[in-house]
Chains A and B, each alone.
Chain A
Amino acid sequence: DQQVKQNSPSLSVQEGRISILNCDYTNSMFDYFLWYKKYPAEGPTFLISISSIKDKNEDGRFTVFLNKSAKHLSLHIVPSQPGDSAVYFCAASEAGNTPLVFGKGTRLSVIA
C-alpha cells in the first residue's frame, strides 16, 4: 500500500515556464513533508520541506504548497531551467526521529 503517491511518472516543461509536481498521501500521521531531487548515479538531494502547521514554504524558485484536508502537496518551480531536469521524489515522515516514506518519483524534463 503506497502511502505517498506521485501519479505522474514524467513531466515535460519548456524552459522559463512553471513546473508543477504533485504528491498525495494517505497517512494522516504524517506531519513533515520533503522534496528531494535525484540525478542518475547520485543520492537524493534535499530541495525544500514543509511542516504540517504551514500551507506554504518558499525558497527561491521553489515553492511547496500543502493542503492537509486534501492530503495533497505540490512543488512549483518558477522559472524552470534545463538544470532542473531530474527525478523528483516526494517524501513524508511522522513526528519524531522516524524514517522517510517516499513516492515513486516524477521525472522532470525541462526543454530549452
Chain B
Amino acid sequence: AAGVIQSPRHLIKEKRETATLKCYPIPRHDTVYWYQQGPGQDPQFLISFYEKMQSDKGSIPDRFSAQQFSDYHSELNMSSLELGDSALYFCASRLSPRGIQYFGAGTRLSVL
C-alpha cells in the first residue's frame, strides 16, 4: 500500500538559508499535517491543510510557510534558518473526518 512520501530525507543548510520540504500524502487522503520533532522531544504540530485550505495552525514560526497544492501534495518553506530549526520534520496524512494519521519517514534538517 502507498505510504506518505517525504523528500528529501536529509537536508543540510547554513544559517540564514532557506529550505523547502515536500510531502506527498497517501492517495485520496484529503488532510495533511506537519510536525516538528526536536532532539529528545515529542512531535509538535506546526500546521495542517484540509482540501488545500489551511485548517489548523500550531507553533509554526513566522519564518515558515506552507501550502497544499491541487494534487494534494504539500510543501513546507523555511526561511532565515536558525540553528534551533535543526529537527526531524514529519508529514502525516489522513482521510477525514475520522481516519488515522499516517506518517512519512520524515526529513532530517541540520542547520550549521
Q: A residues touching B (Cβ–Cβ < 8 Å)?
A: 32, 34, 36, 41-46, 49, 89, 96-105
Q: B residues touching A (Cβ–Cβ < 8 Å)?
A: 4, 6, 31, 33, 35, 41-45, 48, 50, 55-56, 58, 90, 92, 94, 96-98, 100-106, 108
Q: Which of B45, B98, B104, B105 is within 8 Å of A100, CB to CB?
A: B45
- What 5 pairs across the A-B complex have the smallest Cβ distances? A43-B103, A99-B45, A102-B42, A104-B42, A44-B103
Q: Which of A34, A43, A99 is within 8 Å of B106, CB to CB?
A: A43
Chain B neighbourhood of A32, CB < 8 A? 98
Query: Do B100 and A44 touch across chains, with their CB atoms under 8 A apart?
Result: no
Query: Do A42 and B96 touch across chains, with their CB atoms under 8 A apart?
Result: no
Chain B neighbourhood of A102, CB < 8 A? 42-44
Query: Do B96 and A97 touch across chains, with their CB atoms under 8 A apart?
Result: yes
Supply 12 further A-B pairs (C-beta < 8 A) apart from A43-B92, A100-B35: A36-B103, A45-B103, A46-B102, A96-B97, A97-B31, A97-B50, A97-B96, A99-B58, A100-B43, A101-B45, A104-B42, A105-B42
